[in-house]
Amino acid sequence: MSTSLRLALSSHPTEVSREFVRDHLWLTLVMLDGDGVRPVTANDLEVMDLDAVSAWKLAEALLDRTSRSTDLRPVDTVDGLSFVVSGDGLASTRMTRLVHTLAPLPLGGIVAAVPSLDQLLVVTLDSARAIDALQVLAAALGHAVERAQEPLSDQLFWYDGRRWVPIAVVHATEDITVLPPPDFVRAMNHLAAMDLVSVAGEA
C-alpha cells in the first residue's frame, strides 16, 4: 500500500503537508485513489504501519526519481514558454524540483504556473524578451483554471534565486492585471540592460 504514496501540490494544508509558497501552495502527502489521488490521513498511515516522516521520504524518493529536465517541453506557439509532461497526473508537483532540474538557473530566475494538478507551465527569465511569454501565460491562466478538473492556482510564482515568490494576477471579466513585486521589476530591468549591452556589443 505504501507504493501508492505520492507528493502533490495543494491550495490548502492537509493532515500531512508542508508549506511550499507562503499562503498559496502546500506540498502534501497523498495516495492513489482510483483515477486520482486523495490526501493521506493519520488512519492511512496507521494501516500502512508508517509514521509521517517515513511515508514522506518514500513519496519524496519517487518524486526525485521521476523528475527530469527532459520532461520540460517547449510550447510551439509561444517562444519562451514550456510545459512539463509527467505521465502520472501530477505535473504540478515538479514545480518543487524545478530549481534542481533547470540548474544552472537563468539570471532572472524562473516563473511557474500551476493552474491544475496535472499542469506546470514555465518561463525561464534569461532575457527581457521573456516578458512576452509571461503575458501570454498570465492571460491564459484564468481560462486554464476554469476548465481544469482539479484546479490549483490562477497566480504566477517567481523563483528569485532563493525562494518562490507570488506574482499577483487579478482576473477581471474583460482583462487581467499583473502586479509584480518590486524585486521582480528590478530583475526584469536588469535583464533589459543586459540585452542592451549584448546588442551594443554585436553592433
Dihedral sign from CA coordinates of 26, 52, 149, 76: positive
Same domain (yes/no): 27, 115? no
What confidence tier does 174 reach under pLDDT thresholds 50, 70, 90? Answer: confident
Domain enclosing residue 84, as ranges: 69-202
**Are 53 and 99 within one domain?**
no
Q: CA nearest 2: which of 65, 67, 46?
A: 46
- Model pTM score: 0.92
pLDDT above 70 for 2 = no
CA distances from residue 154 to 125, 134, 145 in whole angstroms, order as listed: 20, 13, 6
Report how far residue 107's alpha carbon sits from residue 110's, in angstroms, rounded to the nearest whole number: 9
Q: What are the cell numbers at 115?
A: 493552474
Give the residue, 53 or 200, on which the prediction is more confident.
53
Look at residues 10, 38, 65 and tell me which one is the last residue of a structural domain: 65
Q: What is the pLDDT of residues 54-108, one digit of tens each?
A: 999 999 999 999 998 899 999 999 999 999 998 899 999 999 999 999 989 999 9
**Together in a domain, 42 and 100:** no
Total domains, the chain: 2
